[in-house]
Amino acid sequence: MVAGLAAAATLFATMAVTNGAMADEPSTASSTCAATGTTITLQGSDLDAFRTWNGKTSTGLRTFSAAKVADYKIANGTTGGSLHLQTVAADKDAIINALGDIKDNAGNKLYDSEDNQGDPMNWLANTQNDTFIRNYADDPGVTGTTVSTNDVTVDETAKTVTIDVKEPGLYMIFDSTDPKTQTKDTGDTTVQYDGFKNMLVGTPLSGDCQVSNGTGIVDLSSTSNAKTSSSTTVRGGFKFTKVGVKDDRTGLAGAEFTMYSDDQFTTQVEDGNGTPVVATSGKGGVVDFTGFKLDAGTYYLKETKVPDTYWAGSAGKLKITMSKNEQGQIVLSKIEDMSVPTSGLLTNGQNGYVYHNVKSITQLPLTG
C-alpha cells in the first residue's frame, strides 16, 4: 500500500477551508493558529522498516529527502485562525505542470492555471480528494534535498523517526534509499521491506487553525493509513526416506547426506543460521533436513557416507529444488536423480521421495 496517503490527505485536504484570500479580521484575536515546529514525524509499527540492512546487521537508517512545496500563511481573528497554503515560488511552474496530469474522467485537466484556479497547492488542498492528492504525490514535479543524518532522530520506544526540515510548511518527503528494497535476515526468516512511497505532509500546527491532524505526524502504524509494504519469507527444509534391501527395505539407517551449492559438490551449504547442512538417516530411514533454514533455490545433495555392507556405487547424487509457496514458506518443490543414465534408485510415491541403496550392481533396478 502507499505510504502516507491517508495521513497526508487528512492533514492536507482540510488545511485550507476556503478558496478565497486569508480572513481580514481584527488583530485582537481570542484564539490563534500558529506554526509550532519544523519537524515531520513518521510513526510505524516496525522500526526496522526504517533501517538499511546487510543480512542480520542494520547498517543505518534509510535516506530521506525533503522538498518544501508550500508555505503556511496564517491570519488570526476573533473567530479563530485562518490557514492557507502558498506554493513556493521557485518550484511553482514545475508544480503546476505536475498538477496538469490530474484529470477528470473525460480526460480534462482539473487545474488549468493560477489565474483560473488560484494558488496550485491551495487548490489541491481544497479538492479534498485523496486520489488527486495521491496522484500528485506520486509525481510532484519537485525533487528533494537529502536530509542530513544529524537532522533525523529515532525514538526506539515510540517507534518514530523524526525529520527536522528547518522551516514550517508543507513538504514532500521522499525515501531516496538505494536500493529502496531492504532485506533483513533473522536466520529462520527473511523480511523484505519495500520502502516508502512519497509522502505529502505538513509540519505541526497549534491553536484554532481549523485543521485536523495538524500534529506533523504520519501514523503508519494505523490500519486506516497506508503503509510501506513488507513480506516475510519463512525458510524451511525437507525430508525423504532411505531404504536398502531385504531387512532394510522399509528403512536404512546410517546414510549421511551433505548439501552443496554447486553440481560439482565443492562448496558446502550453510543454512540461514550458519549451520552446515548435513543429515544422517535414522531409524526408519528418514533423512531429515526439516530443521535447516533454506532459501528458495537449487541445491545438490551427495551421499557422503554409505551404510556398512552397501555398495558405494549406489551412493546418491540428488538435485534439490526449494520454492516459496503462497503462504511465504520455503518448501520442497522436487528431488531429481543426477545419475546419467538415471539409476532408477530414486522414486516418488504416496509416501514421498525414497532413495534406494543396493549391495551390488546386480541389484540395480532395470530401467530399460
Per-residue pLDDT reduced to its tens digit, 118-168: 999 989 988 878 888 889 999 999 999 999 999 999 999 999 999 999 999
Measure the N-to-C terminal CA separation of the chain; round to a whole number of Å: 56
C-alpha cell at 37: 515546529
Between CA 107 and CA 288 the distance in angstroms is 61
- The Cα–Cα gap between 19 and 219 comes to 28
Give me 199's grid cell: 509522502
Count CB-CB contacts under 10 A for residue 20. Answer: 9
Cell reading at 86: 502558498
Q: Is the full-model pTM beyond 0.75?
A: yes
Q: Per the CATH hierarchy, to which homologous superfamily does domain 235-363 belong? A: Immunoglobulins (2.60.40.10)
Which residue has 490530474 as its cell numbers?
102
DSSP annotation of 19 reads S
Number of helices and strands in the chain (H, E) = 5, 25
Average pLDDT, the chain: 85
- Pairing mode, if any, of strands 33-35 and 317-324? unpaired
- What's the pLDDT tens digit per position in 51-68? 999 999 999 999 999 999
Single-letter code of the amino acid located at 17: V
Domain boundaries, the chain: 5-232, 235-363
At 178 the pLDDT is 97
Checking DSSP bridges between strand 352-356 and strand 217-219, what pairing results, if any?
A: unpaired
Quick one: cell of 180?
529502496
Cβ pair 217, 163 in contact under 8 A: no
Spatial separation of the C-alpha atoms in residues 331 and 329, rounded to whole Å: 6
Give the model's pLDDT for residue 22.
Answer: 35
| pLDDT at residue 140 in the model | 96
> Which pLDDT score, from 0 to 100, does residue 31 have?
63
Q: What is the pLDDT of residue 208?
A: 77
Residue identified by cell 532394510 is: 248
Q: Could you tell me the three cell numbers for 296? A: 528458495
Q: What is the pLDDT of residue 284?
A: 92
- If the chain, 368 residues long, is cut into consecutive pieces of 10 residues, what is the mean pLDDT of each piece? 32 36 36 87 93 97 97 70 86 96 88 92 85 91 96 95 96 96 96 93 85 81 67 96 86 95 97 93 95 96 94 92 96 95 87 89 52
Asked if residues 151 and 65 have their Cβ atoms less than 8 Å apart, the reply is no
Burial 110-149 (b: 16+ CB within 10 A, else e): bbeeeeebbbbbbbbbbbbebebbbbbbeebbbebeebee
Q: How far apart are CA 153 and CA 167, in angstroms?
A: 17
Q: Which residue has the cell 533454514?
A: 293
Contact indicator for 234, 6 with CB cutoff of 8 Å: no
